[in-house]
Amino acid sequence: MLKVENLTGGYQHLNILKQVSFEVANGEVVGLIGLNGAGKSTTIKHILGLLQPKSGVITLNGQSLIDDPIHYRQQIAFVPETPILYPELTLKEHLELTIMAYQLDATIAWQKANALLKRFRLDQMLDWFPTHFSKGMQQKVMIVNAFMTEADLLIIDEPFTGLDPLAVHHLLELIADKKSENKSVLMTTHVLATAKAQADRFILLNHGEIRADGTVSELASEFGVSDENIDQIYLQMARENGDA
């Protein structure tokens, strides 16, 4: 399980997060939500170790990045918001690299990968350079790479943008599978209506602080909106901020 305690941090001279604390339990799917610039991606970068916290502690199953970087990282798989690929590697080679990097059992990993590739209709593209794919297909490559690992924590940044409706459906299924395997999933999103299908809980960030934390109905009642119009909470929050 992921534990973020009193995390303060951001970019060199720019503090974005202020005393953020939350947990993602095993078998739990948590949505990290908030307007642009609220600190969602910054939080993720801290968990991944791409940014160093000014203060606060992040642990995954009791281990921090500083204790044992390799083991810490083996427990995390990441789907970035914009696909990050190696221009000189084919799709198949990206998967091989993941197997190598995470030291997976090649036979089992390939079984998983092939099923995922088939589901996302990428199974005929193995020998191509993914950098030439469309954005949605590149996103699928990133999803396959992350979901074929045995990582305990999946971090998915803006999973639904750019994916076709069928792929969104498949992704939600995959998230449900991970949940049933007792893995944790942390995803950022703007599309609450889609995310609430799988997310157990949402953490609402506002200006680098946690504004609210709870299930869809808890958030809805806190902001005085109905469950069906959960997207209204953004408008409510903007009003609180004095922006709208």
Residues that bind other proteins (CB under 8 A): 48-50, 69-74, 76, 78, 80, 84-90, 93, 96-98, 100-103, 127, 129, 131
Q: Considering beta carbons, is residue 48 or 212 the nearer one to other proteins?
A: 48
Cβ-contact 65, 49 below 8 angstroms: yes
Alpha helices in 35-90 (DSSP H): 40-48, 69-74
CB atoms within 10 A of CB 180: 9
For residues 158 and 41, give the distance between their C-alpha atoms in angstroms, rounded to a whole number: 9
Shortest approach of other proteins to residue 11 CB, angstroms?
15
Q: Is 99 helix (H, G, I), strand (E, B) or coil?
A: helix
* Cα dist from 104 to 38, 63, 109, 149, 177, whole Å: 36, 20, 6, 7, 19
Shortest approach of other proteins to residue 72 CB, angstroms?
8
Q: Considering beta carbons, is residue 88 or 243 the nearer one to other proteins?
A: 88
Q: Is 79 helix (H, G, I), strand (E, B) or coil?
A: strand
H or E stretch covering 3: strand 2-11
* Cα dist from 202 to 22, 162, 225, whole Å: 11, 22, 15
Q: Considering beta carbons, is residue 145 or 198 the nearer one to other proteins?
A: 145
Q: Considering beta carbons, is residue 74 or 198 the nearer one to other proteins?
A: 74
For residues 57 and 63, give the distance between their C-alpha atoms in angstroms, rounded to a whole number: 10
